[in-house]
Amino acid sequence: MNQKNATTQAESTATGHAPAGHPAIKPPKIGVILLNLGTPDGTEFGPMWRYLREFLSDPRVIELPKPIWYPILYGLVLTTRPKKSGANYKKIWNTERNESPLRTYTRAQSERLAEALTDLPTVVVDWAMRYGNPSTESVAKRLVEQGCTRILTFPLYPQYSATTTATANDKLFRALMKMRNQPAIRSVPAYYDEPVYIEALANSITRHLATLDFEPEVILASYHGIPKPYSDRGDPYRAHCLETTRLLRERLGWDEKKLTTTFQSRFGAQEWLQPYTDKTVEKLAREGVKSIAVVNPGFSVDCIETLEEIAVEASEIFHHAGGKNFAHIPCLNDSRDGMAVIEALVRRELSGWA
């Protein structure tokens, strides 16, 4: 059935045999939002300051009381970190589009998903950011204006954490609070153990290793860290990460020495989930390991944390400590395997709607 016939049928079903003067009811549509973490609009101080302020003001991210945290945030962090972060973003910036790779890849995922779902003519696919632009609120509003009475939101985090998935959902729900005519909402759950996701990771790793002129002695599965107290209070993130690595290890036929879990991107003075990626990379090199690779299963697309922190910084740490061969395995991004994961989960969660 083509889109014109489907629309005509939907209109007929919606209106039935309504009497003259009956209010018109538009055929309903279904929105799908691919929701990623966020990105600054530029690498200059101003855009970086605005992005970091929004990100680091989120109580899901920094759980300190505002009277304690805000003087630190506005008095120290936001006066020094925007310049440093901007310099790091410049190293990986998509100069052709004048945007971060995270925005480039998330848009591409949305476009490819829309192409894959052409057999569902009532489905409208869009993408948004939790922090920065396009904002979650603006995209949700746009979908409602297009006639979407139901919205499936897809937080692009395989492993659940209150610092990522929960705050993404919070942002959407706050947008709904401003709407008189709210759509029905579903959210794709964490998919850290989904067979299609594990298979996609395994295929991606295998293909990339085949392109190297060396064989890594150790491969690190490096996940974004969270403060250890968050985990101690019940956040399931650490368990999800460990399970992803276990399933991936099982799928590839490797032991714990070959594929091990580490955590990166710590911020501040408190203890975060361990072992730390940077310390592990340095330790391996000093122990005589000459060849390693790092994969980032917790990131749906390549971004500052993978392209700069791992591919650049971790590589420098490894070589400086005596290592020889270092490889960063790209994220799934909008690859065939990556899109297979997104499409499979979206189709499943649309069941009964589309």
Q: DSSP states of 116-174 as a string?
A: HTTT-TTEEEEEEEEEESSBHHHHHHHHHHTTEEEEEEEE--SS--IIIIIHHHHHHHH
pTM of the predicted model as reported, rounded to 2 decimal places: 0.92
pLDDT for 6 = 47
The reported pLDDT for the residue numbered 16 is 60
Nearest to 339 by CA among 39, 102, 110: 110
pLDDT at residue 22, as a whole number: 80
State residue 74's pLDDT score: 97
Residue type, 306: T
Q: Which residues are annotated as a binding site?
A: 224, 305
157: Cβ contacts below 8 Å, ≥ 6 apart: 164, 165, 168, 190, 298, 300
Residue 129, pLDDT score: 98
Structure tokens at 242: 């460990």
Interacting residues of 235 by C-beta distance below 8 A, sequence separation 6+ = 161, 162, 163, 226
- The residue written with tokens 């506005």 in the block is 74
Domains and CATH numbers, the chain: 195-329 (3.40.50.1400)
Q: Which residues are annotated as a binding site for Fe(2+)?
A: 224, 305
**CB contact at 8 A, 153 and 33:** yes
Q: Which residues of the chain are under the pLDDT cut of 50?
A: 1-13, 15
Say what the pLDDT of residue 268 is.
Answer: 86
| Residues 37, 73: Cα–Cα separation, whole Å | 20
Cα–Cα distance between 288 and 1 in angstroms, integer? Answer: 62
* Distance separating alpha carbons of residues 37 and 298, to the nearest angstrom: 12
